[in-house]
Chains A and B, each alone.
Chain A
Amino acid sequence: MDFGALFGSFDNFASFTMGGLVFGAIYALIALGYTMVYGVLQLINFAHSEVFMYGTFAVAWTFVLLHGTGDANWSLGKALPILLVALVAAMLASAAIALVLERVAYRPLINKNAPKLIALISAIGASFALSEAMGLRDRFAKWLGVDDNLANYVSPKKARDVYTNPVTIEPHKLFEVGGYNVTDVDLVIVLAALVMMFALDQFVRRTRFGRGIRAVAQDPESAALMGVNSTRVVQVTFLIGGLMAGVAATLYMMKIGATRQSAGFLLGVKAFTAAVMGGIGNLRGALLGGLVLGVMESWGAAIWGNEWRDVVAFILLVLILLVRPSGLLGEALGKARA
């Protein structure tokens, strides 16, 4: 245990805090998908981690398509044009996966009034199926006879290995906070997450459709009696979760630069943790939970060593829930006051 590593100098403290905020912002964006679906349907979309994972591949494949496979180190400015295309691709890919999930894994069960537990099992099944399908993409390509054309995308024999983005984005120092260098990449990640959060929050609070979402979350039968099309509301909720996961996937690839078919699992669990920690069903809670989780695990890693990062994260979850069982902000999406 080395508290000096964290608190010894402001430089270290700022560095670990900022690093935590960056990951926390990504957790928060993914957490939105869990929390919104829970708010509307009271079910955990366990497969949301795969929605994110498909987004990360969309980013890497966009770079392979538009740049090629040659390794390169680019500044954020140079990568920006492709990065923006990749962002759109990731948002579309993640949204598509989320919508298919809703249609295939949930809607038939909801229409039959199946217990929530059944939907959870369906979600876990869908999660494994999606993850393994990505790991088997070389086989699919072979069956379709396109494995030669798509060799750069499926990486034969290594479909289950780490898939690296050919372009590494080099962070550049923008300014200094007490000796700690704030980079352009870190700043973009945190700002992008905050902007998306703010936009979504306003959408849910201020728009007619957002009011419809809150109505379904608070009382589905009453919402139907007001003329809200609940099937459409559920669909849009999954769509929004997917779009946010796509943004998270792009930011993640900016920072990490590599992914694999199992990349969604730990991030998904952490994002779910962030959602529960902030108060499941609560949008602002997802943001707070994500940032708190990111910072705490970063501090934990500084004090006890990096291998303790996840232990700290989940012990924190248990401690917070013991004190505040409904999460930091508590109230659900629907019940949040305007």
Chain B
Amino acid sequence: MLLEVQGLCVNYGHIEAIRDITFGVEEGTVATLIGANGAGKTTTLKTISGLRKVRAGQILFDGKDITQLPPYERVLMGLSQSPEGRGVFPGMTVRENLDMGAFVRKDVKTAAYQQDLDRVYDLFPRLKERQGQAAGSMSGGEQQMLAIGRALMAKPRLVLLDEPSMGLAPKLIQQIFSIISEINAQGTTVLLVEQNAAQALKRAHTAHILETGEIVRSGTGHELAGDDAVKAAYLGGDV
């Protein structure tokens, strides 16, 4: 297991945001957490990245306990995230945002770095066209591409994607999901949080359903996509 989450509990004040969450992500796979708004998906990702304090439970990355590590040390270990709401740096150019993604890398002047940059530009040609533009002046879809590209520039072993399809046009959603499969095919493990359950289940090797802070179902993406209760609750009865 590349990532193991064991009995994770997180509180906001006295309110329990997530309760006793346990799941794992196998290296080289795509895993997804799906669920309604407020189910605790984003909190789970933020806690894995170290932005939220853990009340109880453990997070293991590559077998090492990272539960108490500050966020930047987790990035150094190979964990990167494209946050909810994109979180691009509005006053920096597209290129500077991508460079920020590689903040922990020491090989910025090398050919390997240029290759990774080219790879991101291949995935998102739009970003190459807009290299010199301030990120804050781009459209929502372009910012989403930038957030994903930026997360990839860290050369992560595991990338956490929080709602990459949110607010995008249907055509762009298709494109983002096929890019996620492509990222995975190139060797990066993916943990995907989505409200677009149909697409997420189609791409995921393993899937977990969150309801009010707890995991209520787990299985392969295919299993859950075929499950009647899941269909009724999350897929509008039809995939």
Contacts and interface: CB of A to CB of B under 8 A. Distances in A.
B72 A229 contact: yes
Most B CB atoms within 10 A — which of A214, A224, A331?
A: A224
Interface in A310-336: 331, 334-336
A214 B72 contact: no
A227 B104 contact: yes
A201 B195 CA distance: 43
Contacts, number: 82
Interface string B187-214: 0000000000000000000000000000
A215 B89 contact: yes
Interface in A211-230: 211-212, 214-215, 218-219, 221-230
Contacts of B91: 214, 218, 331, 334-338
B71 interface: yes
Interface in B74-122: 75-76, 80-81, 83, 87-93, 96, 99-101, 103-104, 108
Given A215-B100, A338-B96, A225 B89 contact: no
B109 to A, nearest CB: 11
A228 B150 CA distance: 14
B103 A212 contact: yes
Given A221-B51, A338-B96, A228 B72 contact: yes
B50 interface: yes
Contact of B134 (A211, A214, A337): A337
A337 B87 CA distance: 17
B154 interface: yes
A220 B75 CA distance: 15
B83 A227 contact: no
B76 A221 contact: no
B49 interface: yes
Interface residues of A, number: 24
Given A226-B154, A227-B75, A218 B92 contact: yes
A78 interface: no
A336 B92 CA distance: 8
Nearest to A224: B71
B70 interface: yes
A214 B81 CA distance: 19
A224 B92 contact: no
Nearest to B153: A226
Nearest to A334: B91
A138 to B, nearest CB: 44
Contacts of A215: 89, 92, 100, 103
A323 to B, nearest CB: 24
Given A215-B100, A338-B93, A227 B76 contact: yes
A214 B92 contact: yes
B75 A226 contact: yes
Given A211-B96, A215-B100, A225 B71 contact: yes
Most A CB atoms within 10 A — which of B93, B99, B103?
A: B103
Contacts of B150: 226
Contacts of B50: 224
Contacts of A228: 72, 103
B116 to A, nearest CB: 15
A225 B70 contact: no
A231 B70 CA distance: 10
A63 B154 CA distance: 51
A225 B93 contact: no
Given A208-B103, A211-B99, A215-B100, A222 B88 contact: yes
B140 to A, nearest CB: 16
Most A CB atoms within 10 A — which of B51, B71, B81, B101?
A: B71
Contact of A222 (B83, B99, B108): B83
B152 to A, nearest CB: 12
Nearest to B89: A218
Given A221-B51, A222-B83, A338-B96, A227 B103 contact: yes
A336 B81 CA distance: 25
A334 B88 CA distance: 12
B101 A226 contact: yes
B154 A227 contact: yes
A335 B90 contact: yes
Contacts of B70: 224, 229, 231
Contacts of A231: 70
B220 to A, nearest CB: 29
A151 to B, nearest CB: 48
B92 A227 contact: no
A208 to B, nearest CB: 7
B159 to A, nearest CB: 11
B22 to A, nearest CB: 24
Contacts of B88: 219, 222
B114 to A, nearest CB: 17
Nearest to B75: A227
B72 A221 contact: no
6 contacts: A208-B103, A211-B100, A214-B91, A224-B50, A224-B71, A226-B154
Interface of A: 208, 211-212, 214-215, 218-219, 221-231, 331, 334-338
5 closest Cβ pairs, A-B complex = A227-B75, A227-B104, A335-B91, A222-B87, A224-B71
Given A215-B103, A222-B88, A337-B134, 6 more contacts: A221-B83, A226-B80, A226-B154, A231-B70, A331-B91, A335-B90
